Amino acid sequence: MSRRLALALMVLGAATWAAEPAPPAAPVSSRRALVRFHTACASCHAGECSGRLSFFSGKGGAKHHIRRYAPTADDLVVKELFTLLATMKRTCRVELPADTAAQARWTGEQLREWFNPDANAWFIPLGELGPARVTVTLQPGAGAEAARAQVLDEELETLAEAPLAGKAVTLRFDQPQKGRCFLLVRLAPTLTSLTVAQ
């Protein structure tokens, strides 16, 4: 086969693929963007799976709006956040980091990577869990009197929820089928440990 023909076939293949219904969201986003998206954007935009973005205020307007909720993000992350919202609207599910395996024990230092100081909130991917009854125990540090913890799945369904009130909290939920879920913690400036048992 000539190179030109091979190239033409590849392009044709790509075009056919592009016309198919949306493939599962590819793990394309950086950890920094995912943490921001889940802690600062998803709650307001949850339930919007209308298909396409309307660009109500144009791309420039959207950028201004994103900056408002991600004030210290760099341009690359702002772009990623835009794409994350577009993907969520199209697929009705949120992107979770595909490379994060379920982990039984997390130290404060490991958790720190998943903190968004702009939102004073945490997005902690729990990896693939189930089928099982899952028990998540979270220990906050100082200043978490008003904190709340919530476990959600990829479709943003809440699986468990509880206040932390400055103390350790245990969340239990059933994961009847294998599936990925994550923990959101709001209003907790520090977390010291997390355990996940199933």
Q: Which residues make up the interface to ligand HEC (CB under 6 A)?
A: 36, 40-41, 44-45, 48, 53-56, 62, 65-66, 69-70, 81-82, 85
Residue 48 beta carbon to ligand HEC: minimum distance, rounded to whole angstroms:
6
Residue 187 beta carbon to ligand HEC: minimum distance, rounded to whole angstroms:
15
Amino acid at 195: T
From residue 12, give the alpha-carbon distance in Å to each of 19, 21, 92, 173. 11, 16, 28, 46
CA distance 167 to 174: 23
Question: Contact 100/114 with Cβ under 8 angstroms?
Answer: no
DSSP bridge partners of 116: 121
Given the complex with ligand HEC, which of 40 and 124 has the nearer CB atom?
Answer: 40
Residue 84 beta carbon to ligand HEC: minimum distance, rounded to whole angstroms:
7
Residue 9 beta carbon to ligand HEC: minimum distance, rounded to whole angstroms:
36
Residue 91 beta carbon to ligand HEC: minimum distance, rounded to whole angstroms:
15
Nearest CA-CA partner of 192 in 159, 164, 162: 164
Given the complex with ligand HEC, which of 45 and 148 has the nearer CB atom?
Answer: 45
Nearest CA-CA partner of 124 in 88, 171, 67: 171
Given the complex with ligand HEC, which of 48 and 155 has the nearer CB atom?
Answer: 48
Given the complex with ligand HEC, which of 41 and 134 has the nearer CB atom?
Answer: 41
Given the complex with ligand HEC, which of 40 and 138 has the nearer CB atom?
Answer: 40
Distance of CA 162 to the CA centre of its chain: 19
Question: DSSP character for 23?
Answer: P
